[in-house]
Structure 1
Amino acid sequence: MKKLNLVVSAVLVLSLLAGCGSNSASNETGSGAGSNSAANDTAPIKLTWFDKNTGDAFTNPVAKAITEKTGVTVEIQQPTGNPLEKLNLMLASNDLPDVLMLDRGSDIMNKYIASGAIIPLNDLIDQYGPNIKKMYGDTLKKTRSADGKNYYLANWYGLEKYPVFGFLMRMDMLKELGVGDKVNNGEPFTAQEFEDLLVKFKEKYPTVDGKPSIPMTLNGEDMGSVQWTFKGMFGMKTYYEENGELKKDIRDPRYLDMMKFINSLYNKGLIDKEWATMKTKQYEQKIAAGNVFATANASWNVGAPNTLLKADAPEGTNKEERQLYQYKVLGPNIAADQTTYGPKSSLGWDGVTISKTNKDPVRTIKMLDYLASEEGQYLLMWGLEGKDWDMKDGKHVPRQEVLDAFTKDWNEASKTTGIRKWTWMIKNGPGSDGTPYDLIGRYKSDPTTDLAIKNLADTAYDTAPYDNLGPAGGTPEAIMEQKVGETINKYYLKMALAPTEQQVTDMYNQMMKEVEAAGLAKLEKVYNENYQARLELWK
């Protein structure tokens, strides 16, 4: 019996050792994570992946390299129609892909979390996500749901000091108007200086190439860009914060001053009379025609007309200067460091999630961990070493032919090389060698972008604490918020186009009465409750 017990004990010990060896292997991180992988970590596996941003097959060189590293091939599912409709349909039918990229903080994300359609990632990250922990850091704390769990990995995360909105003016015309010393020295313009430039332009150029000159035009179809640019000028943020309490931005004393300024420019004939009803295509055509001096927008939204302006530059003129460049304009009594032209969330735009029907969450998180790693980020955004880039003196150096290909045809270059085609778990900013993860968007820029960075990078601020503080969809407060928003938008245009300044004030007072009646105070209570809950969650 004693001998039998020894044999049984030996078998148990061997079994336990075998089990521990198996568990140890399965707990190892995937390829590229900095440790040895278990044999089955790169065995072929296919994941279905919902990505509203691209419908291309997972067959380009970068995709093949990902499969080689992780063993995972991806079947991309992209809707032919409205992505939101497709997501709602998948949720209702329980026909879910393995991985979904959803808008972070959106109602659809909240629906997927509440219904249990996507799984919490905390345990998976703890066991198999060393790169995720390293790269995301405190971002994981800030993207937790109310229950304290992480259901997604943020995309385009990390606060980036990069310009967003600003006032754009033709550089060649600025020089002709006598302010050549300020065209590229980083100095801001005061509100009065800006207005004076609009007046001088109108006086100096009654017509341009036989067309009536337009001192300033705006895109009526993109009211967000218009509003955020002027708010940036007056140092306004998402909410008006007073004694630690959040209030709707319309309560900010600077809001009425801002509306009076816009109205003043309009009534002095310095803003295009047609702007409020103008569509994006018309807006771009007007700028490209060459008779517009200024606009208010994000710099990338005037890329197309700027290209045409350069192409139409007369022989012997400086083509680069025949473009709209982005500048900082200071509202009255607003210091340069108080402007807020650069609202950006450090938590990004999308969230990569794993569905409850995913048959291998461990392999999935290991793949995501590799993509989140520095090696994975450079693969996604720079392509293949030795083909698209080389490591020289410890730095990533892109090959010139790759940069040239993207300059010639961005979409074709991305499709052919795979560079920047699969933008998953992307981190803003530079890697450990100082080169930006986003090769095409940040490594090599054009003169308009360079000057925008010089003029406006310091206006960036993090909107993450204020993002998505509104009421949950389907609640009475959600209906109130819709009504309040519609009322504000209606009066914004009315105030901007009012015949007199007194009418601007009267309309503002009427707007405040209507939004109060629509439930503004109750909404602000929701904002503050959600805000305090968020701050508590982030501790």
Structure 2
Amino acid sequence: MKKHKMLQLSLALVLVMSLFLTACTKKEVATVVSATPAASMAAVETTAPSAEPAPTAPAQFTLGSEPLSFSFYGNYDWWVTNQWGGDSPSKWIQDNLKVTVTPIQSGGAAVQKLSTMIAVNELPDVILLDRGPDVEKLVKADKLVALDPYLDKYPNLKKYAGESTLNMLRSEDGKLYTFPNYYTQKPNGNAGYVINTKIYKALGSPKLETFEELASYLKMVKAKYPKIVPLEVDVNAGGVYLFATGFEENYPITFINEKAVPRDDKLTSLFLDPTFNTTLKYASQLFRDKLITQDAFTQKSDQVYEKLKNGRVAVFVSGDALNSKVLEAHNFLKQKDPEDGYMAIWPIHKDGVSKDKVFPNSFASQGWNVNVITKGAKNPEAIFAYLDWLTGNEGQTVTNFGPKGQYWDTLDADGAPIPNAKWTSTPQADKDKEHFGSFDWAGNTAFLDGTKAKIDSALPEDQRSWSTTQQLNVMWKTSLNTTEFTNLAPSPDSPEGIAATALQDIITKATAKAIYAKNDAEVDSILKEANDSAVSQGYDKLLLFKTTKWLENVAKVKVQ
């Protein structure tokens, strides 16, 4: 799922959108299919003859009827799109559906990359990005294709996501421009804490539940393994924000992402919030004690994964702790030593906080992020048809479990693949080399998670998917529905939108300063200064705006 979604506070995607008014698009596009709506025959049988010929329905694009290609760009620093046709799912799609995708990479600098593409008038055909102001800026610049005309012709999205979810995704003009990825009504997420099992056992498998116990364990690691990073907090120290979810019950990471905390029926300043204050003080103390990554604000994601792969991390805390790179690291260590590898643990919490009310993961019905089709695409309907096929049972099966005849031959009554003997006999590490799911940009969470759980439960324990096991045991059990906190972002051109842009830079700098602080008093001073700076940029007005939107969402969610 969705690198839910998740802790990309350092990403500052909103900065690039100031350039969008001058943007232009280009490129060629993909062609694809979907099922034909089934109600037409019934309508013919029950309708009285007409004196005039019935109007001809618009032709539906048929997947595989002609070759097609489109460019795709994932607008994240860490996102890397694999070469199309290099694995069995994309090769099958290319050979059987005549679809070819040309990846465009961010190169670790998504903001700059998108700015460049805009400057030279070369927007990709499809962009995968976060919901909110980024999308709205493109809408107002008239760069995106409205998807409403395709919803009934290609019915999978409407069928599986549902009207209420699609309505939550609509832009201010009432139109739908986004195709959601990993939309859901069920808990999901990959955020949390992962420990190196070999190191943990060597240190006596101590109790690891509270923040005090975590600090004690990290000191043990530092003392016995001086070359090991006790706590890896991911790029830009993004993992430290997860601490907040354990310092207060029912405090999802969403509050930090929104820079707004609900108190007494209104959204209040994150900088003045006691829980956020405690979070940064705890992180700062760990940093001063050299228990967390000392180069957290300068390291690249490749360096993080290299440390994990070499077994040089005792505890990893991240908003995407189960991604394919972490899985690769786990399998690499496990192949060398069956006692080595990684395991998710229940999220750390403050003594007195109920462990069952700690939620490092959050989910919304709209899912993790969204695809948009730009007006430079030659055949936007074909692209939509492909995405609609992708989000259906067949598309989800091919991209996540391989094509028919590889690891499955038949489907069950729910349309889910039934693993064959090869699935059981093939080591999980070998199956993981296929990078299943890497080309799934229209994740249907209910189908996918249900199928994974069904397949895994039928296998012997030593053959089960590592990622799915961690998700079932920990991650999905620690995920909170935060649909009411979606769509709170203002238009980037509005006073509130300008304040939101400034706020992103303020919190990024304040977090770094606080972690580098010499003592708790300095953290207090840094956060007060950050709040004053934010207020001077219009933070109070932004909070009022978000409060209004939030309360509107609360009313909508109650109705649904």
Normalization by structure 1: what TM-score?
A: 0.72
- Cα distance in 2 between the residues matched to 1:284 and 1:362: 38
Matched, 1:435 2:451: yes
Distance 1:424 1:73, change over 3 A: farther
Matches within 5 A, 1:513-524: 513-524=532-543
Q: Which residue of 2 aligns with 1:129?
A: 154
For 1:52, what is the secondary structure of its paired residue? strand
Q: Which residue of 2 aligns with 1:249?
A: 270
Alpha-carbon distance, 1:261 to partner? 2.4
Alpha-carbon distance, 1:172 to partner? 3.6
Q: Which residue of 1 aligns with 2:280?
A: 259
For 2:131, what is the secondary structure of its paired residue? coil
Matches within 5 A, 1:387-402: 387-391=406-410, 394=413, 396-399=417-420, 401=422
Indicate if the aligned counterparts of 1:249 and 1:255 stay in contact, CA closer than 8 A. Answer: yes
Indicate if the aligned counterparts of 2:73 and 2:106 stay in contact, CA closer than 8 A. Answer: no
Counterpart of 1:198 (choices 197, 204, 218) is: 218
- Cα distance in 2 between the residues matched to 1:361 and 1:304: 35
Matches within 5 A, 1:49-448: 49-52=70-73, 54=81, 56=83, 73-79=98-104, 100-105=126-131, 107-126=133-152, 128-137=153-162, 138-179=164-205, 189-202=209-222, 206-208=223-225, 212=226, 216-219=230-233, 221-227=235-241, 229-235=242-248, 236-237=251-252, 238-239=254-255, 240-268=261-289, 270-271=291-292, 275=296, 277-284=298-305, 292-297=313-318, 298-300=320-322, 302-303=326-327, 305-307=329-331, 309-310=333-334, 313=337, 319-321=338-340, 323=342, 325-354=344-373, 368-391=387-410, 394=413, 396-399=417-420, 401=422, 404=426, 407-408=429-430, 410=432, 413=434, 420=437, 422-430=439-447, 434-436=450-452, 445-447=464-466
Q: Which residue of 2 aligns with 1:473?
A: 492
Alpha-carbon distance, 1:52 to partner? 1.8
Q: Note the alpha carbon deviations across 1:486-517, whole angstroms, 9 max, x for none.
A: 33333323333333333333333333333333
Distance 1:373 1:218, change over 3 A: closer
Where do 5+ consecutive residues of structure 1 fail to align? 1-13, 31-39, 183-187, 314-318
Alpha-carbon distance, 1:342 to partner? 1.0
For 2:150, what is the secondary structure of its paired residue? helix
Alpha-carbon distance, 1:428 to partner? 1.1
Where do 5+ consecutive residues of structure 2 fail to align? 1-47, 75-80, 256-260
Indicate if the aligned counterparts of 2:488 and 2:549 stay in contact, CA closer than 8 A. Answer: yes
- Percent identity between matched residues is 21
Letter of the aligned partner of 1:261 in structure 2? Y
- Cα distance in 1 between the residues matched to 2:228 and 2:72: 42
Indicate if the aligned counterparts of 2:243 and 2:348 stay in contact, CA closer than 8 A. Answer: no
- Cα distance in 2 between the residues matched to 1:278 and 1:65: 37
Distance 1:101 1:536, change over 3 A: farther
- Cα distance in 2 between the residues matched to 1:359 and 1:51: 14
Distance 1:18 1:533, change over 3 A: same
Indicate if the aligned counterparts of 1:299 and 1:449 stay in contact, CA closer than 8 A. Answer: no
- Cα distance in 1 between the residues matched to 2:409 and 2:140: 46
Distance 1:44 1:290, change over 3 A: closer
Indicate if the aligned counterparts of 1:146 and 1:537 stay in contact, CA closer than 8 A. Answer: no
- Cα distance in 1 between the residues matched to 2:302 and 2:113: 29
Indicate if the aligned counterparts of 1:428 and 1:438 stay in contact, CA closer than 8 A. Answer: no
Q: Which residue of 2 aligns with 1:23?
A: 56
Distance 1:498 1:392, change over 3 A: closer
Q: Which residue of 2 aligns with 1:508?
A: 527
Q: Which residue of 1 aligns with 2:40?
A: none
Deviates more, 1:303-312 or 1:373-382: 303-312
Indicate if the aligned counterparts of 1:125 and 1:365 stay in contact, CA closer than 8 A. Answer: no
Across the aligned residues of Structure 1 and Structure 2, the Cα RMSD in angstroms comes to 4.4
Indicate if the aligned counterparts of 1:207 and 1:213 stay in contact, CA closer than 8 A. Answer: no
Alpha-carbon distance, 1:338 to partner? 2.0
Alpha-carbon distance, 1:131 to partner? 2.8
Distance 1:277 1:381, change over 3 A: closer
Alpha-carbon distance, 1:427 to partner? 0.5
Distance 1:321 1:465, change over 3 A: same
- Cα distance in 1 between the residues matched to 2:185 and 2:546: 23
Alpha-carbon distance, 1:426 to partner? 2.2
Q: Note the alpha carbon deviations across 1:418-473, whole angstroms, 9 max, x for none.
A: x64642432113369x4239999x99754476246423432112344434533333
Letter of the aligned partner of 1:19 in structure 2? P
Q: Which residue of 2 aligns with 1:9?
A: none
Alpha-carbon distance, 1:150 to partner? 1.6
Q: Note the alpha carbon deviations across 1:176-232, whole angstroms, 9 max, x for none.
A: 44446x6xxxxx712233233334445xxx344xxx2657233463322332x2122
Alpha-carbon distance, 1:242 to partner? 1.5
Q: Which residue of 1 aligns with 2:77?
A: none
Distance 1:278 1:344, change over 3 A: same
Distance 1:304 1:381, change over 3 A: closer
Q: Note the alpha carbon deviations across 1:339-398, whole angstroms, 9 max, x for none.
A: 121134442344344555777666665555444332343234334334441226645223
For 2:172, what is the secondary structure of its paired residue? coil
Alpha-carbon distance, 1:157 to partner? 1.8
- Cα distance in 1 between the residues matched to 2:201 and 2:555: 52
Alpha-carbon distance, 1:521 to partner? 1.0
Indicate if the aligned counterparts of 2:93 and 2:99 stay in contact, CA closer than 8 A. Answer: no
Counterpart of 1:450 (choices 469, 490, 511) is: 469
- Cα distance in 2 between the residues matched to 1:85 and 1:269: 33
For 2:56, what is the secondary structure of its paired residue? helix
- Cα distance in 1 between the residues matched to 2:265 and 2:370: 29
Letter of the aligned partner of 2:451 in structure 1? T
Structure of greater Rg: 1
Normalization by structure 2: what TM-score?
A: 0.70
Indicate if the aligned counterparts of 1:199 and 1:215 stay in contact, CA closer than 8 A. Answer: no
Alpha-carbon distance, 1:122 to partner? 2.7
For 1:189, what is the secondary structure of its paired residue? coil
- Cα distance in 2 between the residues matched to 1:15 and 1:472: 50
